[in-house]
């Protein structure tokens, strides 16, 4: 039997521990921050709505994780509207509020309608709005479906200045899949650019995490895999990883993201 503890330890450090629920409040975000302080280490980032950035900053400071755990947020989310001005404004406000990383939703419906320039202009505008913050572009691969369209969206996002390309919002029927991840990782490799990859939605177990890590190692090489290049967007995955590290393979709670 494969020892999954090294995988769990690696995956934990690559997590964007996420809470993007309609009923989130300050207390839930404070609890999310405390969950990040585990005996096995801490995730790379927390991902939450812009309204809770200040709450997260305050709580991370209180538990001694400021600057060790980054704060990520979402804009143009989850709809992926084609309005570049709106998306850039939301992004600029998020960075001003203290976000270290911004996950924006690519206007995938415009691409489905045959208008690729809409996505290019939106990502370029958000790149400018981000300044020095990390820009992750959510392609919503489960809605694009067609491998050629996933590749096209990835190419557009990378050329327009994305620091990461990300599979999904976690808010649609089909989120991260290994098939979409393979296309995205190959696009990153072929671009020759220093761009990262984030898998989000439906990654619930240590075995799930291992499958994505193995795929990334095959395409990009093991040395490429670090928080600077690879992230998991998830909530319930943390419990599964900690259970693995404790030797308890009991089923972890469901992961809505």
| Catalytic residue check, 117 | no
Instruction: Identify the active-site residue in 163, 198, 210, 255.
Output: 198
Tell me whether strands 15-19 and 45-48 are parallel, antiparallel or unpaired: parallel
In terms of C-beta density within 10 A (0-12 exposed, 13-18 middle, 19 or more buried), how is residue 113 classed? exposed
Enter the tokens of residue 191: 């671009």
- Residue 223 burial (CB count, 10 A): 8
3-state secondary structure of 75: strand
| Catalytic residue check, 3 | no
| Catalytic residue check, 136 | no
Using a CB cutoff of 8 Å and minimum separation of 24, what contacts does 34-40 make?
A: 34/59, 34/63, 35/238, 36/60, 36/65, 36/69, 37/63, 37/64, 37/65, 38/12, 38/238, 38/242, 40/8, 40/9, 40/12, 40/241, 40/242, 40/245
Instruction: Identify the active-site residue in 103, 163, 208, 255.
Output: 103
Instruction: Identify the active-site residue in 166, 208, 210, 255.
Output: 166
3-state secondary structure of 47: strand
d(CA 29, CA 176): 24
Active site members: 103, 166, 198
């Amino acid at each position: 039997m494969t020892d999954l503890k090294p995988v769990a330890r690696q995956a934990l450090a690559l997590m964007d521990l996420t809470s993007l629920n309609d009923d989130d409040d300050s207390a839930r975000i404070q609890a999310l921050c405390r969950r990040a302080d585990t005996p096995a280490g801490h995730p790379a980032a927390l991902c939450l709505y812009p309204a809770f950035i200040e709450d997260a900053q305050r709580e991370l400071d209180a538990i001694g994780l400021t600057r060790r755990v980054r704060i990520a947020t979402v804009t143009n989310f989850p709809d992926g509207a084609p309005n570049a001005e709106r998306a850039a404004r939301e992004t600029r406000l998020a960075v001003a509020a203290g976000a270290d990383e911004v996950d924006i939703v690519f206007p995938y419906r415009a691409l489905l309608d045959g208008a690729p320039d809409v996505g290019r202009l939106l990502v370029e505008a958000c790149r400018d709005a981000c300044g020095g913050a990390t820009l992750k572009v959510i392609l919503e691969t489960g809605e694009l479906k067609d491998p050629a369209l996933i590749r096209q969206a990835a190419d557009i996002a990378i050329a327009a200045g994305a620091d990461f390309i990300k599979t999904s919002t976690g808010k649609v029927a089909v989120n991260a899949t290994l098939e979409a991840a393979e296309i995205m990782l190959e696009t990153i490799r072929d671009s020759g650019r220093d761009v990262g990859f984030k898998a989000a939605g439906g990654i619930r177990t240590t075995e799930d995490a291992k499958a994505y890590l193995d795929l990334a190692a095959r395409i990009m090489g093991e040395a490429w895999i670090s928080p600077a290049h690879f992230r998991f967007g998830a909530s319930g995955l943390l419990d599964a990883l900690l259970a693995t590290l404790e030797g308890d393979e009991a089923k972890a709670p469901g992961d809505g993201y």
